[in-house]
A and B are shown apart, each in its own frame.
Chain A
Amino acid sequence: MQKRNYYIEIEDFLSDESFRTWVLTKVDEHGWEEWTLENQQRAKMVENARFLLLAMKVPNTTISSTDLNAALQSTWIKIEEKSNLNKSSANNLSAKYLNKFWLSAAAAILFFASVSVWFYHNQFMTKNAVVTYEELIEDTNEGLVEQTNNSNKPQIITLSDGSSVLLQPNSKLSYPKIFNGNERKVYLSGEGFFEISKNPEKPFIVYANEIITKVVGTSFRVKAYSDQPNVEVLVRTGKVRVSSNELIVDSKKVKEVILLPNEALRFFRSNSSFNKITNITEDKTLVSTVGNIEQLSFEFTDIPVEQIFKTIEQAYLVDIDFPKAKLKDCHLTTSLSDQPLSEKLKIICKSIGDDTSFEMNGNQIIITSEGCN
């Protein structure tokens, strides 16, 4: 530890691990405190170094072991994919000369394509920094199912992972039949209320016009009509991350906004800016458009099953058919706020009794039961 007697610059202190440990954790194994007090000149230098160290904090974001495992998992998948790719290109080695010819042809075509993309892009960037549903859909190649609500009342969609989406009139949603890969991506035009089944390993992502909303399991509303100047996201439960789609802004300018329950965000399409609304009750437009589902409480304390079904019917605009007589005297205490529709039904059926089950067919839900335990 004698080398410190020759320290003459702040840098010397900063790169001394024992010094850093002392400042940052107050563990003083090498008697820094005492050593500092020996000499006034030294004390001043130490003070300065300490201040600088305190001003240089790097946030210590630790990654959870589940996330770490998931990351490792997807790395192995990448390795698999890449090695398959290498193998197939190795097989083509025999056609090397032909390849060469094709390569130059491809390069030429690529060049033309790039130039036209560039022209298109310039046009696109300057005049029209707007992303539409059609463009988003075009960009994907994952065979999507599209559901359009042309009726005059909201429509419920249940996705393969059990999440539910209440799609408003004049809106459409595109989603894969089954969610593959490590993300659940859907595309929205118009307005929808999302209740996402929890799955930390597969984040759920809603692409709507220029913004991207990302969650793990929660409920929120996205309003993104192509003919309206704003895009809105409003959160009911859980935590939601919203960022702008990089198609429209320089990746440097993109920022991510985190929304908590009862917070909302408005994205102005004209200048690609965000406005976070922390008190939604003060925002008239948001309050006036709150749907049934967002007002109803799903906290039930000793409530007749019939009443609970009625609440669900109102919230999701579905019809529930159930054996009224058999369930006449059944009461339940349960909290269903943070669950998608299918999950809610599952919980209710389970609570009523083992021989109770449900079946969902579009807006029709049929409950079969032999009464409660």
Chain B
Amino acid sequence: MKTQILSFKTYDDHKLWNKLKAGDEKSFSLLFEKYYGDLINYGNSFSPFAEKVQDCVQDVFADIWLYRESLQEPNVVKAYLLSSVRKRIARLYERDHVFRKITTTDSIEFLFDFSVEYELIDDEATAESVLYLNKLLNDLPARQKEALFLRYNQGLSVDQIAEMLEVNYQSASNLLHRGLLTLRREWKGSFSVIVLLSSGVF
């Protein structure tokens, strides 16, 4: 079974990055293979056009190679890649919509929906709670959802999330906190009884 890896090997990435900078094509390919899937998934949560997303991700890599000599080494390579993909899609989106309604930087919206790990649920009460939680999660504002996704599914730190979403540390932390707070409040209200009955651990 494949684990969803939260922390990633920073050392390896930096080694790859430095070799890439020195013009090593093999390292470039390795980095590409390592993160392409994740980046496509992330990109797809902003745009239903799979092809354009592929284009954007490939452009990000192409630019890294072309401008490798002048690039600063990022603290966390994965965070840098995710953020570059996000920026590129935002730019594309703006360009396509120049004469339409919105042109702000957060004009792209995180359309992704979390799903439920059904294989790991074996009783009905759990299923019910998890399903309800899942609905609450997916009903959160897009930015809160994205912050949660970046923090807990992609393993970015609050700092990195702040940078990606172009807000300060406090706002990023608030995004995460508020998301979970809403969940907890809603959840307690309607589920304490069921949880109490089913788990018996109170």
Contact (Cβ within 8 A) A251 B47: yes
Question: A55-B116, A60-B4, A251-B47 given as contacts; is B99 within 8 A of A118 (CB)?
Answer: yes
Name which residue of chain A comes closest to B41, CB basis: A61
Contact (Cβ within 8 A) B6 A15: yes
Residues of B within 8 A of A48 (CB): 187
Name which residue of chain A comes closest to B121, CB basis: A54
Contact (Cβ within 8 A) A47 B195: yes
Contact (Cβ within 8 A) B96 A55: no
Contact (Cβ within 8 A) A72 B4: no
Contact (Cβ within 8 A) A254 B48: yes
A117, B95: Cα distance in complex, Å: 14
Whether, in the assembled complex, B202 has its beta carbon less than 8 Å from a beta carbon of chain A, the answer is yes
Contact (Cβ within 8 A) B66 A83: yes
Q: Which of A1-28 contact B (CB under 8 A)?
A: 10-11, 14-15, 17, 20-21, 23-27
Contact (Cβ within 8 A) A57 B58: no
A53, B93: Cα distance in complex, Å: 32
Interface residues on B, range: 35 or more
Contact with B along A34-69 (1 / 0, CB 8 A): 000000100110011001111111111111000010
Give the contact stretch, choosing among A74-82, A278-286, A297-305, A328-336.
A74-82
Question: A54-B117, A54-B121, A251-B96 given as contacts; is B149 within 8 A of A79 (CB)?
Answer: no
Contact (Cβ within 8 A) B49 A57: no
Whether, in the assembled complex, B79 has its beta carbon less than 8 Å from a beta carbon of chain A, the answer is no
Contact (Cβ within 8 A) B114 A17: no
Whether, in the assembled complex, A114 has its beta carbon less than 8 Å from a beta carbon of chain B, the answer is yes
Contact (Cβ within 8 A) A72 B202: no
Contact (Cβ within 8 A) A14 B152: yes
Contact (Cβ within 8 A) B99 A114: yes
Name which residue of chain A comes closest to B93, CB basis: A251
Whether, in the assembled complex, A170 has its beta carbon less than 8 Å from a beta carbon of chain B, the answer is no
Contact (Cβ within 8 A) B2 A75: no
Whether, in the assembled complex, B151 has its beta carbon less than 8 Å from a beta carbon of chain A, the answer is yes
Q: Is the interface of A mostly helix, strand, loop or mixed?
A: helix
Question: A10-B184, A47-B199, A251-B49 given as contacts; is B66 within 8 A of A58 (CB)?
Answer: no
Contact with A along B145-182 (1 / 0, CB 8 A): 00011011100000000000000000000001000100
Interface residues on A, range: 35 or more
Contact (Cβ within 8 A) A11 B49: no
Name which residue of chain B comes closest to A62, CB basis: B37
Residues of B within 8 A of A72 (CB): 29, 32-33, 36
> What is the distance, in angstroms, from B196's C-beta to the closest C-beta of chain A?
10
Of B58, B96, B148, B202, most A-chain CB atoms within 10 Å: B58
Whether, in the assembled complex, B61 has its beta carbon less than 8 Å from a beta carbon of chain A, the answer is yes
Contact (Cβ within 8 A) A56 B153: yes
Whether, in the assembled complex, B129 has its beta carbon less than 8 Å from a beta carbon of chain A, the answer is yes
- Measured CB to CB, the residues of B under 8 A from A are 1-7, 29, 32-33, 36-37, 40-41, 47-50, 54, 57-59, 61-63, 65-66, 93, 96, 98-100, 109, 111, 114-117, 120-121, 126, 129-131, 133-134, 137, 148-149, 151-153, 176, 180, 183-184, 187, 195, 199, 201-202
